[in-house]
Amino acid sequence: MAEEEPKENALLTSIKLRIGIEDTKQDALLLDLIEDASSRVLAYINQDGPTTDDLPSSLGWVVKAVAIEMYNRIGDEARPAAPRVACPIHGPLLIFHSTLMHSTSTAVQASGGGQE
């Protein structure tokens, strides 16, 4: 039986497939973007109410989407930002707000968190 691929490697493989990378030259960059995107999603879902140290697995697709968006923005840092996003840290996450908030409340309830 084949071993299950670690979550980080599965995300890396999926992101590389979506952006058309077939070699390993940018793996360090992509892993850094995955880590950053994961941290941003975790910070976003922990901003109001009970907190969690673990990112719910159901939000892996959000991490992937944010990491890809961050990758696609490389080189555009010097361009003026569009006025559509009020918060540059959470900007890419705003489109996922309702999903993130629902997943957080579900994960907290399942873990028994938020009860005093």
Identify the residue whose tokens are 């489109």.
Answer: 95
Rounded to whole angstroms, how far apart are CA atoms 40 and 89?
A: 8
The model's pTM? 0.66
Residue length of the chain:
116
Average pLDDT, the chain: 76
What does the pLDDT look like over 56-96, one tens digit per residue?
888 899 999 999 999 998 887 666 665 544 444 455 666 66
